[in-house]
């Protein structure tokens, strides 16, 4: 897996160099993509990149893993290697905007603080989780038995878990306008004026629709769709049995008030993990 660093004000910094060293020891292929001229600038003057080579030699980055853009936009280089690089870390926000707009490489802004480090690590964890790999890229699912746990919830806790999982499942399926009931109820408590409440709710739903348009191209995916995020189906197999349990309890307590509900019968199993089991204690 290839990972790219800018040099000036990025890999030239000690904390970034130390992070690059950590990635190299974890078997990631580290590259340097810099805006610098390689041999001579536009005026014909010879360029000295000794400070760059001092760092890359210390990290044992091969010279063939260093790309000089000669002051051309970096996205021009990355767009030919979309599927090769995981992310590129840079302090130049203009370069990052170009990379985001024209390539599939994840641009990460190297700025003061630890935001850049956390974003790099988070994205690596996301990719490793997608391919079931550990920090060194080894498949952690090989010969691994599924662990099982037993936990106890209060009714309120269980309802909250169901609501959170339902939101996660729907949101990642492109059903981004679905607002959790507790959130809608909280808005109503906070803004009891009906007009203000509706305005606030409409703003939330509008912004969620913008996210849907940007992330999902306005598409929606059904539960069980093979292109759906696997965790979406796992969430479904968590919240669906919970709501079925509450529907069962309600119907047993008030049989005279029985009414049709999709949760009156057992739903499908949509994930490899299977449906959770619930026993009232």
- Contact 180/167 with Cβ under 8 angstroms? yes
- Contact 89/10 with Cβ under 8 angstroms? yes
Q: What is the mean pLDDT of residues 260-271?
A: 87
- What one-character-per-residue DSSP string does 171-212 give? HHTT-TT---HHHHHHHHHH--SHHHHHHHHHHHHHHHHHHH
The residue that leads in pLDDT, 75 or 209, is 75
pLDDT at 231: 87
Q: What is the mean pLDDT of residues 16-42?
A: 92
Domain annotation for the chain: domains and CATH numbers: 2-130 (3.40.50.1000), 155-264 (no CATH)
Least-confidence region, from 69-83, 96-110, 154-168, 207-221: 207-221
106-109 sheet: strands from edge to edge: 66-68, 29-34, 2-5, 85-90, 106-109
pLDDT at 242 over 60: yes
Query: Residue by residue, what is the 3-state secondary structure of 208-271?
Result: HHHHHHHHHCCCCCCCCCCCCCHHHHHHHHHHHHHHHHHHHHHHHHCHHHCCCCHHHCCCCCCC
Q: Which residue has the tokens 């130390």?
A: 18
The residue that leads in pLDDT, 69 or 146, is 69
pLDDT at 87: 93
Q: Which residue has the tokens 């492109």?
A: 174
In angstroms, the CA 123 to CA 172 distance is 17
pLDDT at 97: 93
Task: Give counts: helices (H), strands (E), the chain.
Answer: 9, 5
pLDDT at 218: 57
Q: How many residues does the chain have?
A: 281
pLDDT digits (tens, 9 = 90+) for 145-198: 678 889 999 999 999 999 999 999 888 888 777 778 888 888 888 888 888 888
The residue that leads in pLDDT, 98 or 216, is 98
Instruction: Show the tokens assigned to 200.
Output: 């606030």
pLDDT at 244: 95
- Strand, coil or helix: 153: coil
The residue that leads in pLDDT, 126 or 176, is 126
Q: Which helix (H) or strand (E) holds 101?
A: helix 93-102
Residue 269: other Cβ atoms inside 10 A: 15
What is the DSSP code (8-state) at residue 71? T
Residue 219: band (very low, low, confident or very high) from pLDDT cuts 50, 70, 90: low
pLDDT at 105: 92
pLDDT at 138 over 70: no
In angstroms, the CA 231 to CA 270 distance is 10
What is the DSSP code (8-state) at residue 11? I
Residue 89: band (very low, low, confident or very high) from pLDDT cuts 50, 70, 90: very high
């Amino acid at each position: 897996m290839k990972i790219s660093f800018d040099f000036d004000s990025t890999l030239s910094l000690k904390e970034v160099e130390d992070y690059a060293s950590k990635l190299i020891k974890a078997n990631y292929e580290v590259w340097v993509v810099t805006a610098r001229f390689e041999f001579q600038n536009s005026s014909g003057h010879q360029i000295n990149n000794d400070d760059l080579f001092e760092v890359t030699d210390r990290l044992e980055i091969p010279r063939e893993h260093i790309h000089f853009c000669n002051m051309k936009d970096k996205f021009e280089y990355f767009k030919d290697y979309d599927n090769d690089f995981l992310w590129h870390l840079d302090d130049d926000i203009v370069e990052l905007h170009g990379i985001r707009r024209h390539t599939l490489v994840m641009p990460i802004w190297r700025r003061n603080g630890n935001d850049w480090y956390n974003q790099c690590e988070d994205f690596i964890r996301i990719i490793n989780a997608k391919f079931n790999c550990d920090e060194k890229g080894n498949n952690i699912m090989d010969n691994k038995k599924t662990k099982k746990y037993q936990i106890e919830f209060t009714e309120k806790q269980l309802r909250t878990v169901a609501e959170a999982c339902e939101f996660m499942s729907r949101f990642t399926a492109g059903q981004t306008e679905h607002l959790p009931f507790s959130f809608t109820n909280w808005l109503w408590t906070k803004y009891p004026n009906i007009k203000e409440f509706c305005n606030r709710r409409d703003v939330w739903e509008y912004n969620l629709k913008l996210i849907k348009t940007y992330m999902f191209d306005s598409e929606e995916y059904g539960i069980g769709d093979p292109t759906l995020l696997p965790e979406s189906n796992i969430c479904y197999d968590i919240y669906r049995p919970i709501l079925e349990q509450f529907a069962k309890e309600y119907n047993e307590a008030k049989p005279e008030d029985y009414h049709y509900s999709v949760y009156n019968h057992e739903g499908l199993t949509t994930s490899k993990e299977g449906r959770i089991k619930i026993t009232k204690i």
